[in-house]
Amino acid sequence: MSTSEVMAISPLDRAPAAPQGPLTQLRYTPARRWVPSRFNARTVGADGRMLLWNTFTGAMMEFLPEHRDAALAVLTAGPVSEPFDPFGTHLAGRGFLVPEGVDELARFRTQFGRQQWRTDTLHLILLASEDCNFRCVYCYEKFRNGTMLPEVRQGVRTLVEQRAPKLGYLTISWFGGEPLYGWEAIEELAPVFDRAVRDHGLRFQHGMTTNGYLLNEEKATKLLDWGCNRFQITLDGLPQDHDCKRVGRDGSPTYATILDNLRALRERRTEFEVTVRVNYDQENFVRLGPFLEALSEDFAHDRRFRVRYRAIGQWGGDNDDRLAVCGMDERRHVRDELRDKALGLGLGTEGGIDEVRTPGAQVCYAARPYSFIVGATGKLMKCTVALDEMPENVVGRITPEGVMELNDLNMTQWTAPHFENDELCKHCYVLPGCQGAACPITRITEGKRTCCGVKPNLKSEMRFTLDAAARARASGIAALRPEPTAVG
């Protein structure tokens, strides 16, 4: 073979030499560096326990005092390289540490898109009656429309039956006026929803905001059988307060009947949730302590019942100028006192980060493109406070054939990603919770943001979560569910 022929042969074409021993392949993988997530929030309670919350993943961890400093060292030491110690492993696994260089705002945008533009979800807020058997002094509704028209009921029925095969989630919320005042619509439609859920295996939430006066045993039995097992019922204190503010349309007292209906629910073995809403102002809050004591005699340590507190506001009713509303600082002070009082009495109570910790939990339902109010006359609306008093709130109508004829311009005002045009929102560490849409009506009417309730009170809400979790463990009420401590 000539020299030129030898040189023309590539070394890769030659037969491989016999191996001289075992071969070892070397691979270099640089260790990743991790940094604290921009969506972390933390606080330390009076007893030294630390609560850590990541608003993007929804993860929440409670650290005992003896483990707190070790966890903080990982979170504050700057970039951390693999391999992790046990604390780093826990923190990275739950999203409190993220790979260095990750664009967390871009990740949030993806998360937002998945939640906002989903097509497998339908939420209907049904006004079975826009009239009411009460005339509460602070009510903003006008009662111009009566009960839901037959053609509207037919439209809702057809819509759900047509959409159900392609849905994964169905949420039905009865509202009013007083929904039980429109019992005929409920009796017709609730079995339709129940059947659709069973036939198509849908995940289902079915609830009602009711004054509770008409929730007798017969209606309660039917509602529970149809899967309607979440109720919000209002008591504004003891009879001397409640019966002055939440009066029957004929001026009659209402407290005793509502309490009797709540007691009858308590005697059932069925699983359900009742939120007792308490509206307070400068006139009644001084007597709400004794009211909670009375309430605890019936409902303490029953995890099916919990109490919610809301300051009365000037919501657009005829009596707004005569309402003794609390100032902002006063509202928070009263609410915090009432929550602490309820916890001490063994009552389930709302509040803290736990119940709003999941991404999107603080987004107003009106901002979701799959959520609609269906009025008694067929109007489709977004906000239950504005109803049809605000033209932009009417986004369409439903036909008897189940077609939603929508006004795209009005829909866009409610469902647009408002955070994209708000630099403060884009840099906020609770952005995944409210997504810039805690109250879209203020952006539409005033061009202003409304921050979610958690943000201005974050530290106190997290401390309340720590305290409530400890009391819940002691009393056996599993109302608050922080993740277990990371170590130990």
**Are 464 and 339 within 8 A, CB to CB?**
yes
Give the pLDDT confidence score for residue 287 in this predicted structure.
96
183, 128 Cβ separation under 8 angstroms: yes
Which of 290, 293, 343, 288 has the alpha carbon at shortest distance from 310?
A: 288
The sheet carrying 230-234 orders its strands as 348-349, 305-311, 273-280, 230-234, 203-209, 169-175, 121-127, 371-374, 379-381, 394-398, 404-406
In the prediction, which pLDDT does 7 show? 43
206-228: pLDDT as tens digits: 999 999 999 999 999 999 999 99
CATH 3.40.50.2000 fits 118-392, yes or no: no
Amino acid, single-letter form, for residue 477? I
**All structural domains of the chain with their residue ranges:** 33-102+456-475, 118-392
For a pLDDT cut of 90, what percent of the chain falls above it? 76
100 vs 479: which has the higher pLDDT:
100
Structure token digits, residue 136:
């509460």
Give Cβ neighbours of residue 333 (< 8 Å, ≥ 6 apart): none
Q: Taking residues 198-206, what's their average pLDDT?
A: 97
Confidence (pTM): 0.89
- Has residue 353 got a pLDDT over 90? no
Residue type, 271: E
CB atoms within 10 A of CB 18: 5
In this prediction, residues 25-39 reach a mean pLDDT of: 78
> Is the pLDDT confidence value at 481 over 50?
no
Q: Is residue 82 within 8 Å of residue 32, measured between CB atoms?
A: yes
pLDDT classification of 26: cutoffs 50, 70, 90: low
Distances (CA, A) of 176 to 24, 127, 183, 249, 405: 74, 5, 11, 15, 22
Residue pLDDT, tens place only, 393-403: 999 999 999 99
Average pLDDT over residues 476-480: 45
Is the predicted pLDDT of residue 121 greater than 90, yes or no?
yes
Position 2 confidence tier, pLDDT thresholds 50, 70, 90: very low
pLDDT, residue 17, reads 52
Q: Is the dihedral of CA 33, 35, 37, 43 positive or negative?
A: positive
DSSP 8-class letter at 484: P
pLDDT at 465: 86
Strand residues in 77-158 grouped as ranges (E): 80-81, 97-99, 121-127
